[in-house]
Structure 1
Amino acid sequence: MNVEPWLTKGLLKSCKRKNKLYRDFVRYRTKATEMKYKIYKNKLTSLIRQAKKDHYNLRLKESIGDMKRTWRILNSVIRSRSQHARYPDFFTNGDKILRDKAEVVNELNSFFVNIGPSLAKSLETQTNEAGKIQGGSKILQSMFLGDVSENEVLTIVRKSKNKTSTDCDGIDMMIVKKTIDYVVKPFTYICNLSVQSGTFPEKMKTAKVIPIFKNGDRHKFDNYRPISVLSQFSKVLEKWFVQKLDNFIEKENLLSESQYGFRSHKSTSLALLELNEELSSAIEKKQYTVGLFIDLKKAFDTIDHSILLSKLRDYGIRGIAHDWLSSYLTNRNQFVQLDDEISDSLEITHGVPQGSVLGPKLFILYINDICDVSKVLQFILFADDTNIFCSGNDLEIIIQNMVCEMSKLKKWFNDNKLFLNWNKTKFMVFGNRKTNDLVTLSIDGFLIDRVNEVRFLGVLLDHKLTWKSHIKYIKQKISKSIGILNKVKGFLEITTLQTLYYSFIFPYLTYCIEVWGNTYKTNTNPLFLLQKKVLRILHKANPREHTNKYFVLSKIMKFKDLVNLKILLIMFKARNNLLPTNLQRFFVLIPKNDKSRKKPEFKRIFVRTTLKQMCISIYGVTLWNNLDDELKKCATTDQFKKMYKDKMLKSYDLVS
């Protein structure tokens, strides 16, 4: 018999006692036996409920920081089916049905390995432009590596995340952390041999691939994503190399300002802020903007190694550094593991290593010169997420420019073995004025799908910049989480429920909130109402009860104050000239010699439209200029966040 883990021997004994009292009541049917049974049953129910609550609180506290484990515990509470169900009994690859597990893993490995080469082979390169950087400029300086020190290795290992996924040797990062003090000397020696000879260790080139189901039919290979786990020691050596590469990239200013992916001090929110500023500025000028959202199919997998190495040489990565990267990319192999079944190893001939630290950096260098293909279009990139837009007064001319420039881009994609997925590429016309519904965009015979909303960098963007679709999406996500909180609130303490708020609600509520959060109050008010509903659940309060005191007790800021804080943090960076150039240009600081205590720090620009007034370049400036001097004097963003939060919580306390 399966016994619930919170039922102790004492509670089980009490359950038997309760059952005996019930039998006595049924047998004698007296008032005394009925009262004795009911009192005992109610007391036991209360004890079991408390035991269950203590059990789950302890398990959830132990799982803090491990989201997968947290979800498993929650699923056991609400009795929902796990999202990670077992693999099916058979798979299909095209018309082929596979039942034998050994055959499945080998076919699956072959399927994953051949995705990149198959796509690259389908692209015709009509010229010998492949490998040449657009613009033709070469970096004169060369990258220098130097030696690897034991302190560098120790620092990299200690800063690595405590992941428990094991590599092909059965090693996880926790094991590396526990043993690094004993092996740091020989490992550093190996790293230096690798760097000095320009050779990446062969034993570190094997990846273990775990197929993860995405969606759709569980039997089809197409519906599985390969998750690669590389050698743990390989990651340490890669991180050391990436540090040197990043320093060289920044020193030589190699990357386009339009690239926001995998770069320090850049993020999805900053990319979206630039896009929002550009689109709203065009609307302010009564212009149209056509945005093209390009989908590249398996972009990381189709990269041609010879083209990449040629570009790296032109970027100044020559000599030993170039040899090391060439060795790093070649003779790599992988095997697939499905439960306990392991496939044969196969060589990987295309793409950058999945799951690697270095792979994303190599990709953004590979795609970097796309921004030089056109002098007419503007680009916003986040790794392979590509947005191209063009503004003007005449929509017909904009479309003509798009067609002309996209023909050049299509050729660049073909030359660089990147597969442009026309079926998933969308275009949108932005502007307040009525646009012709018959406007179409056709590039080299491909009719691009016109939409009124598109998901870009995790945010739903609509053609009127109202953010209604994105807010609706967030409401759905939060409502689902509220349902979970309602089911588990009886078993969990307030502190544990609050942890769940920060795990499952707060990320949706605040992701890129500085971009979309300052829209019309009528659009965002439902989110604030949901936030208040969550606070009442956390504190088991009456549905109509005022929530100010609960915001204070939980130390949680209200929605609008979360928006303002995120916007003010951007303004803090703008004031200290810490924003990317493409964003910093939207903010004009008043020269210091013109300043006085009464004068603002940022110049405020008069704008016509409400849409532009809600942008960070206008609203953020007003917010900062009206800020307390005490907050403006904060030396760091962490200090600013703490002081601002304290001020907001005090203001709620005063109201309540």
Structure 2
Amino acid sequence: MSSIKDRNGMDLTEAEDIKKRWQEYTEELYQKIFTNPDNHDGVITDLEPDILECEVKWALESITTNKASGCDGIPVELFQILKDDAVKMLHSICQQIWKTQQWSQDWKRSVFIPIPKKGNAKECSNYRTIAHISHASKVMLKILQARLQQYVNCELPDVQAGFRKGRGTRDQIANIRWIIEKAREFQKNIYFCFIDYAKAFDCVDHNKLWTILKEMGIPDHLICLLRNLYAGQEATVRTGHGTTDWFQIGKGVRQDCILSPCLFNLYAEYIMRNAGLEETQAGIKIAGRNINNLRYADDTTLMAESEEELKSLLMKVKEESEKVGLKLNIQKTKIMASGPTTSWEIDGETVETVSDFIFLGSKITTDGDCNHEIKRRLLLGRKVMTNLDSIFKCRDITLPTKVRLVKAMVFPVVMYGCESWNVKKAERQRIDAFELWCWRRLLRVPWTARRSNQSILKEISPGISLEGMMLKLKLQYFGHLMRRVDSLEKTLMLGGIGGRRRRG
């Protein structure tokens, strides 16, 4: 970054000024919220079972390699090469932390790297900060996560699919498509509110988080370990002009920490419980069950059969969110409805009503038609294919390798979320045409050349077609759902909704 804007919009070009601006911005972003002080002091004596060497070995082996190291500069590969010696050393350190609940300061430090998002690259707010933390600390964090997971799974409902084993974005995409399709089939109006929080993960109040963990039955020993990990956190920002001074982190869950998704999910669950979403009658009733929200971490979707019910749900969630420090981004919060709507205003800002919405990377429309999403996916696939042109022109790369590249880098972009698509004849033709366009571009064969599609496919020998891959994914997902017992996805796929179909 050659220049950056200060808080007044003036361009900064000097290296020291840019570093100071980044430190100023991140310090403000993570500045401590002044709430009731944390009066906890001392060491917990009622400890959970000791850490075993086999836990350390498992944690060390499960850490992803080829990642940038933290401030200590020690990569995890070094520990993995040392094998048993590293396991014994790390076990001793982890066991000491487990008993004393005191963390090494190096394990509390993070190095922030700003990565540009959309918008003006001179604005600090248009950057996402990723963090590098000590690889050795990840061993302890993995063990702590495994101990926490049993409690987290008991507390989270099935409408929360974010960062949970066996769940993913495809499940929530399928859920919302099935809800829209059933509502349309039985002539039901349906209203959605896609909530966007302003920097949700960075606004978590630490003292409130410990209170929430206590209320949800997390053992005092684990809470004390987490509290002491978060106390006295430090960070620096690495820019193209060097690193800033170290500064304190006063709020938000830790960046790049494997515990953060679990902690945030519990934080969000506390909001929804206090909003009374489980007790309210507002929502969509399918197979005798009332569904009024779908969640993927901080991405929250509220739904109801009337505009009044939806507005009531939204105001309850907004009120409870603000109590724990999370604020709605009204500009990015959207309403999507199949029935009539009126203009909504919240805190003087109008909530936009849309006819389609990009939900977890997939385009959802009010009519439930997948045609728009399929066209969008094919267009995204074309862009990826075009970006790979320089590789396809290289004569040193063999044809089979290029074919594998297309299948690994282009086709997955097109197939994202296809498990819940309703593909008609026209869409199948578009998919087949796209696949042949890819193979012709790969072979540098223009459409004007007198070559049949059969000759192209014979030269490529792609095996299963793109449409066949999609069908395989759909069947695998169907089998996966049918083997589940009482899952939300199975209920929404097979369950009935009240109402009457259209004539004919």
Shared fold, TM over 0.5: yes
Matched, 1:322 2:231: no
Q: Identify the residue that residue 650 of structure 1 maps to in structure 2.
A: none
Q: Identify the residue that residue 415 of structure 2 maps to in structure 1.
A: 510
Alignment counterpart, residue 216 of structure 1, candidates 116, 119, 122: 119
Alignment counterpart, residue 301 of structure 2, candidates 364, 387, 394: 387
Alignment counterpart, residue 295 of structure 1, candidates 181, 185, 196: 196
Structure 2 distance, partners of 1:328, 1:191, is 13
Specify the SS of the correspondent of 1:408. helix
Structure 1 distance, partners of 2:384, 2:83, is 41
**Structure-2 change in CA distance of 1:241 and 1:402 (3 Å):** same
Structure 2 distance, partners of 1:217, 1:361, is 32
Question: Which residue identity is paired with 1:581?
Answer: S
Matched, 1:410 2:318: yes
Alignment counterpart, residue 582 of structure 1, candidates 485, 488, 494: 488
Larger displacement relative to structure 2 (229-238 or 262-271): 229-238
Offset, 1:147: 2.2
What are the within-5 Å matches in structure 2 for residues 39-54 of structure 1? none
Q: Identify the residue that residue 478 of structure 2 maps to in structure 1.
A: 571
Matched, 1:94 2:94: no
Structure 1 distance, partners of 2:439, 2:27, is 49
Q: Identify the residue that residue 42 of structure 2 maps to in structure 1.
A: none
Contact 1:403 1:443 in 2 (8 A): no
Contact 1:212 1:224 in 2 (8 A): yes
Question: Which residue identity is paired with 2:488?
Answer: N
Per-residue CA shift, 1:98-132, capped at 9, x if unaligned?
333233223202312322548x68xxx9xx9xx9x
Matched, 1:461 2:364: yes
Offset, 1:239: 1.1
Q: Identify the residue that residue 83 of structure 1 maps to in structure 2.
A: none
Per-residue CA shift, 1:498-556, capped at 9, x if unaligned?
2321343122112111123x233323532321112223444566854335984896555
Contact 2:71 2:133 in 1 (8 A): yes
Structure 2 distance, partners of 1:214, 1:587, is 36
Question: Which residue identity is paired with 1:379?
Answer: N
Contact 1:166 1:172 in 2 (8 A): yes
Specify the SS of the correspondent of 1:227. strand
Matched, 1:161 2:48: no
Structure 2 distance, partners of 1:219, 1:542, is 42
Specify the SS of the correspondent of 1:422. coil
Specify the SS of the correspondent of 1:171. coil
Offset, 1:443: 4.3
Q: RCO (CA 8 Å, sep 6+): is it higher in 1 or 2?
A: 2
Specify the SS of the correspondent of 1:380. strand
Alignment counterpart, residue 399 of structure 1, candidates 307, 316, 322: 307
Q: Identify the residue that residue 249 of structure 2 maps to in structure 1.
A: 348
Larger displacement relative to structure 2 (403-412 or 226-235): 403-412
Q: Identify the residue that residue 173 of structure 2 maps to in structure 1.
A: 272
**Structure-2 change in CA distance of 1:216 and 1:448 (3 Å):** closer
Per-residue CA shift, 1:482-512, capped at 9, x if unaligned?
3344544342311321232134312211211
Structure 2 distance, partners of 1:192, 1:270, is 39
What are the within-5 Å matches in structure 2 for residues 24-63 of structure 1? none
Offset, 1:155: 2.4
Specify the SS of the correspondent of 1:215. coil
What are the within-5 Å matches in structure 2 for residues 537-552 of structure 1? 537-538=441-442, 544-547=451-454, 550=457
**Structure-2 change in CA distance of 1:493 and 1:296 (3 Å):** same
Matched, 1:480 2:402: no
Contact 2:196 2:328 in 1 (8 A): yes
Question: Which residue identity is paired with 2:15?
Answer: K
Question: Which residue identity is paired with 1:187?
Answer: L
**Structure-2 change in CA distance of 1:467 and 1:92 (3 Å):** farther
Offset, 1:183: 2.3
Q: Identify the residue that residue 522 of structure 1 maps to in structure 2.
A: 426
Q: Identify the residue that residue 148 of structure 2 maps to in structure 1.
A: 245
Contact 2:160 2:295 in 1 (8 A): yes
Matched, 1:338 2:239: yes
Structure 1 distance, partners of 2:262, 2:403, is 37
**Structure-2 change in CA distance of 1:552 and 1:414 (3 Å):** farther
Specify the SS of the correspondent of 2:130. strand
Q: Identify the residue that residue 559 of structure 1 maps to in structure 2.
A: 466
**Structure-2 change in CA distance of 1:551 and 1:212 (3 Å):** farther
Alignment counterpart, residue 208 of structure 2, candidates 281, 290, 307: 307
Structure 2 distance, partners of 1:148, 1:535, is 54
Offset, 1:321: 1.0
Q: How many residues align?
A: 476
Displaced runs of 4 or more, over 6 A:
none
**Structure-2 change in CA distance of 1:576 and 1:561 (3 Å):** same
Contact 1:228 1:355 in 2 (8 A): yes
Structure 1 distance, partners of 2:326, 2:192, is 20
Per-residue CA shift, 1:546-583, capped at 9, x if unaligned?
359848965553233223222222222233225x7212
What are the within-5 Å matches in structure 2 for residues 339-378 of structure 1? 339=240, 341-372=242-273, 373=275, 374=277, 375=280, 376-377=282-283, 378=292
Per-residue CA shift, 1:386-439, capped at 9, x if unaligned?
111112xxxxxx112222232222210111110101111000113xxxx54x63
Q: Identify the residue that residue 286 of structure 2 maps to in structure 1.
A: none
Offset, 1:293: 0.4
Offset, 1:325: 1.1
Structure 2 distance, partners of 1:150, 1:548, is 59
Q: Identify the residue that residue 82 of structure 1 maps to in structure 2.
A: none
Structure 1 vs Structure 2: percent identity of aligned residues?
Answer: 22
Specify the SS of the correspondent of 1:419. coil
Larger displacement relative to structure 2 (148-157 or 93-102): 93-102
Specify the SS of the correspondent of 2:165. coil
TM-score by length of 2: 0.86
Q: Identify the residue that residue 43 of structure 2 maps to in structure 1.
A: none
What are the within-5 Å matches in structure 2 for residues 124-273 of structure 1? 145-250=48-153, 253-273=154-174
Per-residue CA shift, 1:9-47, capped at 9, x if unaligned?
xxxxxxxxxxxxxxxxxxxxxxxxxxxxxxxxxxxxxxx
Question: Which residue identity is paired with 2:484?
Answer: N
**Structure-2 change in CA distance of 1:111 and 1:483 (3 Å):** same
Specify the SS of the correspondent of 2:155. coil
Structure 1 distance, partners of 2:439, 2:54, is 46
Specify the SS of the correspondent of 1:423. coil
Question: Which residue identity is paired with 1:520?
Answer: K
Offset, 1:290: 0.5
**Structure-2 change in CA distance of 1:342 and 1:117 (3 Å):** closer
Contact 2:162 2:297 in 1 (8 A): yes
Structure 1 distance, partners of 2:309, 2:115, is 42
Question: Which residue identity is paired with 1:513?
Answer: C
Offset, 1:303: 0.4
Question: Which residue identity is paired with 1:355?
Answer: D
Q: Identify the residue that residue 422 of structure 1 maps to in structure 2.
A: 330
Structure 2 distance, partners of 1:411, 1:508, is 38
Structure 2 distance, partners of 1:609, 1:337, is 61
Q: Identify the residue that residue 59 of structure 1 maps to in structure 2.
A: none
Offset, 1:461: 1.1
Structure 2 distance, partners of 1:240, 1:204, is 15
Question: Which residue identity is paired with 1:570?
Answer: Y
Offset, 1:232: 0.7
Structure 1 distance, partners of 2:459, 2:488, is 38
Answer with 1 or 2: which has the greater Rg: 1
Structure 2 distance, partners of 1:91, 1:163, is 34
